[in-house]
Homo-oligomer: A and B are copies of this chain.
Amino acid sequence: MASIKDVAAQAGVSVATVSRVLNSHPSVSPDARTRVRAAVDALGYRPNAVARSLRTDQTRTLGLVISDVLNPYFTELARFVEEEARALGYSVIIGNADERPELQDHHVRTLLDRRIDGLLVSPADGDSALMADVARDGTPMVFVDRWMPGVDVPVVRADGRDAIRDLVAHLHALGHRRLAIIAGPAATTTGNERVEAFREALRAHRLTLPDVHIGQGDFQADSGRRVTERFLALPEPPEVVFAADNLMALGALDAIRAAGLRVPQDIGLAAFDDIPWFVHTDPPITAIAQPTGELGRAAVRALVDIVEGRSPRSVTLPARLVVRRSCGEPAPDRRSNR
Contact = CB atoms under 8 A, between A and B. Distances in A.
Contact of A283 (B44, B91, B282): B282
10 contacts: A49-B115, A70-B75, A70-B76, A93-B93, A250-B277, A253-B279, A254-B279, A257-B279, A258-B335, A282-B283
Nearest to A133: B44
A205 interface: no
Contacts of A78: 69
A96 B79 contact: yes
A250 to B, nearest CB: 6
A50 B53 contact: yes
Given A257-B336, A280-B282, A282-B282, 4 more contacts: A44-B133, A50-B53, A82-B96, A253-B279
Interface stretch (A4-12, A23-31, A105-113, A165-173): A105-113
A253 B171 CA distance: 28
Interface in A46-62: 46-51, 53-54, 59
B221 A50 contact: no
Contact of A280 (B48, B79, B257): B257
Interface residues of A, number: 48
A69 B59 contact: no
Q: How many copies does the complex hold?
A: 2
A151 interface: no
Interface string A205-229: 0000000000000000100000000
A58 to B, nearest CB: 10
A260 interface: yes
Interface of A: 1, 44, 46-51, 53-54, 59, 69-70, 72, 75-76, 78-79, 82, 91, 93-94, 96, 109-110, 112-115, 133, 137, 221, 250, 253-254, 257-258, 260, 276-277, 279-284, 335-336
Contacts of A48: 54, 113, 115
Nearest to A113: B49
A283 to B, nearest CB: 7
A91 B116 CA distance: 14
A99 to B, nearest CB: 13
